Amino acid sequence: MEQKTHTWYAVYTKPRWEKKVADALVRKQIETYCPLNRVTHQWSDRKKIVEEPLFKSYVFVRIPEDKKTLVRETSGIVNFVYWLGKPASIPEHEIDLIKRFLREYQDVEVERFPIQEDDLIRITAGPLMHQHGRVVEASKNTVKAVLYSMGFSLIATVKTSDLMLMNNNNTKEYAGSAKVGVSSAI
Protein backbone atom coordinates (compact mmCIF):
# COMPACT_ATOMS: atom_id res chain seq x y z
CA MET A 1 0.00 0.00 0.00
CA GLU A 2 1.36 3.40 -1.03
CA GLN A 3 1.89 5.92 1.76
CA LYS A 4 0.57 9.42 1.03
CA THR A 5 3.00 12.30 1.25
CA HIS A 6 1.88 15.00 3.66
CA THR A 7 2.89 18.57 2.83
CA TRP A 8 2.55 21.78 4.82
CA TYR A 9 0.43 24.52 3.22
CA ALA A 10 -0.62 27.99 4.36
CA VAL A 11 -4.33 28.77 4.28
CA TYR A 12 -5.82 32.25 4.39
CA THR A 13 -8.62 32.72 6.93
CA LYS A 14 -11.27 35.32 7.57
CA PRO A 15 -9.94 38.10 9.84
CA ARG A 16 -9.64 36.95 13.50
CA TRP A 17 -10.72 33.38 12.65
CA GLU A 18 -7.31 31.75 13.02
CA LYS A 19 -8.03 29.87 16.28
CA LYS A 20 -11.57 28.89 15.22
CA VAL A 21 -10.28 27.54 11.90
CA ALA A 22 -7.49 25.60 13.63
CA ASP A 23 -10.02 24.03 16.03
CA ALA A 24 -12.37 23.10 13.17
CA LEU A 25 -9.50 21.49 11.23
CA VAL A 26 -8.40 19.48 14.27
CA ARG A 27 -11.98 18.20 14.61
CA LYS A 28 -11.66 17.01 10.99
CA GLN A 29 -8.46 15.19 12.04
CA ILE A 30 -6.25 17.47 9.95
CA GLU A 31 -2.80 18.30 11.31
CA THR A 32 -2.86 22.04 11.94
CA TYR A 33 -0.46 24.66 13.22
CA CYS A 34 -1.62 28.11 14.26
CA PRO A 35 1.52 29.86 15.57
CA LEU A 36 0.59 31.74 18.74
CA ASN A 37 2.67 34.63 20.01
CA ARG A 38 2.73 35.32 23.75
CA VAL A 39 2.11 39.07 24.03
CA THR A 40 2.10 41.13 27.21
CA HIS A 41 -0.85 43.53 27.47
CA GLN A 42 -0.70 46.34 30.03
CA TRP A 43 -3.90 47.81 31.45
CA SER A 44 -4.12 50.49 34.12
CA ASP A 45 -4.80 47.89 36.85
CA ARG A 46 -2.97 44.78 35.61
CA LYS A 47 -0.61 43.13 33.18
CA LYS A 48 -1.57 39.96 31.32
CA ILE A 49 0.11 37.63 28.85
CA VAL A 50 -2.24 36.57 26.05
CA GLU A 51 -1.71 34.35 23.03
CA GLU A 52 -2.39 35.97 19.67
CA PRO A 53 -1.86 34.49 16.20
CA LEU A 54 1.63 35.36 14.96
CA PHE A 55 0.50 35.59 11.34
CA LYS A 56 -2.82 37.41 11.08
CA SER A 57 -5.35 35.50 8.93
CA TYR A 58 -3.03 32.51 8.30
CA VAL A 59 -3.03 28.91 9.55
CA PHE A 60 -0.78 26.06 8.41
CA VAL A 61 -2.08 22.58 7.53
CA ARG A 62 -0.15 19.36 6.84
CA ILE A 63 -2.14 17.24 4.43
CA PRO A 64 -1.86 14.88 1.47
CA GLU A 65 -2.90 16.24 -1.92
CA ASP A 66 -6.35 14.60 -1.79
CA LYS A 67 -7.42 16.47 1.40
CA LYS A 68 -7.30 19.99 -0.09
CA THR A 69 -11.04 20.05 -0.77
CA LEU A 70 -11.78 19.03 2.83
CA VAL A 71 -9.65 21.97 4.02
CA ARG A 72 -11.28 24.45 1.59
CA GLU A 73 -14.75 23.45 2.83
CA THR A 74 -13.88 24.40 6.41
CA SER A 75 -15.83 27.37 7.74
CA GLY A 76 -13.63 30.46 8.05
CA ILE A 77 -11.11 29.46 5.38
CA VAL A 78 -10.92 31.81 2.41
CA ASN A 79 -8.46 29.74 0.34
CA PHE A 80 -4.97 28.33 0.16
CA VAL A 81 -2.09 30.75 -0.30
CA TYR A 82 -1.01 30.33 -3.93
CA TRP A 83 2.39 30.45 -5.59
CA LEU A 84 2.76 29.98 -9.36
CA GLY A 85 -0.90 29.04 -9.68
CA LYS A 86 -0.75 26.21 -7.09
CA PRO A 87 -1.18 26.09 -3.31
CA ALA A 88 2.21 27.11 -1.89
CA SER A 89 3.97 24.31 -0.02
CA ILE A 90 5.93 25.21 3.10
CA PRO A 91 9.09 23.21 3.88
CA GLU A 92 8.83 21.26 7.14
CA HIS A 93 12.05 22.81 8.46
CA GLU A 94 10.47 26.29 8.22
CA ILE A 95 7.48 25.18 10.31
CA ASP A 96 9.92 23.65 12.83
CA LEU A 97 11.89 26.90 12.91
CA ILE A 98 8.75 28.92 13.70
CA LYS A 99 7.86 26.46 16.49
CA ARG A 100 11.35 26.64 18.04
CA PHE A 101 11.44 30.42 17.76
CA LEU A 102 8.07 30.84 19.51
CA ARG A 103 9.12 28.46 22.32
CA GLU A 104 12.09 30.72 23.06
CA TYR A 105 10.65 34.20 22.57
CA GLN A 106 7.51 36.16 23.31
CA ASP A 107 6.26 39.55 22.10
CA VAL A 108 7.53 38.64 18.62
CA GLU A 109 6.89 41.17 15.86
CA VAL A 110 6.37 40.17 12.24
CA GLU A 111 7.64 42.73 9.74
CA ARG A 112 7.55 42.75 5.97
CA PHE A 113 10.68 43.39 3.96
CA PRO A 114 10.40 46.82 2.34
CA ILE A 115 10.20 47.03 -1.42
CA GLN A 116 12.98 49.29 -2.66
CA GLU A 117 14.19 50.86 -5.87
CA ASP A 118 15.98 48.37 -8.17
CA ASP A 119 14.29 45.33 -6.56
CA LEU A 120 13.32 42.65 -9.04
CA ILE A 121 9.66 41.64 -8.77
CA ARG A 122 7.22 39.21 -10.26
CA ILE A 123 3.46 39.68 -10.16
CA THR A 124 1.87 36.51 -8.79
CA ALA A 125 -1.85 37.13 -9.35
CA GLY A 126 -4.28 39.17 -11.38
CA PRO A 127 -4.24 40.12 -15.06
CA LEU A 128 -0.48 40.86 -15.00
CA MET A 129 0.33 37.50 -13.39
CA HIS A 130 3.80 36.11 -14.25
CA GLN A 131 5.11 39.49 -15.45
CA HIS A 132 8.65 40.26 -14.24
CA GLY A 133 10.02 43.72 -13.71
CA ARG A 134 12.27 46.07 -11.79
CA VAL A 135 11.08 48.64 -9.26
CA VAL A 136 12.01 52.13 -10.44
CA GLU A 137 10.22 54.04 -7.68
CA ALA A 138 8.86 52.89 -4.32
CA SER A 139 6.97 54.73 -1.63
CA LYS A 140 4.95 53.50 1.33
CA ASN A 141 1.97 52.17 -0.62
CA THR A 142 2.93 52.56 -4.27
CA VAL A 143 5.45 50.89 -6.52
CA LYS A 144 6.37 51.83 -10.08
CA ALA A 145 7.95 48.97 -11.94
CA VAL A 146 9.30 48.49 -15.43
CA LEU A 147 7.84 45.29 -16.86
CA TYR A 148 10.13 44.27 -19.69
CA SER A 149 7.87 42.05 -21.76
CA MET A 150 4.88 44.35 -22.10
CA GLY A 151 5.95 46.62 -24.96
CA PHE A 152 3.75 49.50 -23.76
CA SER A 153 3.05 51.61 -20.65
CA LEU A 154 0.12 51.31 -18.28
CA ILE A 155 -0.75 51.98 -14.65
CA ALA A 156 -2.46 49.24 -12.64
CA THR A 157 -3.45 48.96 -8.99
CA VAL A 158 -2.13 45.65 -7.68
CA LYS A 159 -2.28 44.21 -4.18
CA THR A 160 1.25 43.96 -2.83
CA SER A 161 0.32 40.45 -1.71
CA ASP A 162 0.35 39.76 -5.45
CA LEU A 163 4.01 40.84 -5.74
CA MET A 164 6.98 38.56 -5.22
CA LEU A 165 10.40 40.09 -4.55
CA MET A 166 12.98 38.19 -6.60
CA ASN A 167 16.34 39.66 -5.42
CA ASN A 168 19.41 37.43 -4.98
CA ASN A 169 17.48 34.18 -5.40
CA ASN A 170 15.47 35.13 -2.31
CA THR A 171 11.72 35.35 -2.60
CA LYS A 172 9.59 37.42 -0.29
CA GLU A 173 5.82 37.84 -0.48
CA TYR A 174 4.09 41.05 0.57
CA ALA A 175 0.64 41.75 2.00
CA GLY A 176 -1.35 44.93 1.67
CA SER A 177 -1.94 46.92 -1.48
CA ALA A 178 0.16 49.05 -3.77
CA LYS A 179 -0.10 50.81 -7.09
CA VAL A 180 2.23 49.42 -9.72
CA GLY A 181 3.18 51.62 -12.62
CA VAL A 182 3.99 49.51 -15.63
CA SER A 183 6.30 51.05 -18.23
CA SER A 184 7.95 49.54 -21.24
CA ALA A 185 11.72 49.24 -21.29
CA ILE A 186 11.59 48.94 -25.09
What is the Cα–Cα distance from 50 to 159, expressed in whole angstroms? Answer: 31
Tell me which of 2 and 96 has the higher pLDDT: 96
| Cα 182 from chain centroid (whole Å) | 24
Is the pLDDT score of 169 beyond 80? no
CA nearest to 120, candidates 56, 165, 61, 60: 165
**What would the mean pLDDT of 108-130 be, rounded to a whole number?**
73
* Overall CATH class of domain 7-104: alpha beta
Q: Is residue 30 pLDDT above 90, yes or no?
A: yes
Higher-confidence residue of 150 and 46: namely 46
> Does residue 132 or residue 186 have the better pLDDT?
132
What pLDDT score does 121 carry?
78
Distance CA(132)–CA(134), nearest Å, equals 7
Helix (H, G, I), strand (E, B) or coil at 66: helix
The pLDDT assigned to 25 comes to 98
For 134-161, the pLDDT digits (tens) are 777 776 666 667 666 545 545 455 666 6
| Residue extent(s) of CATH 3.30.70.940 domains in the chain | 7-104
* Higher pLDDT, residue 105 or 13: 13
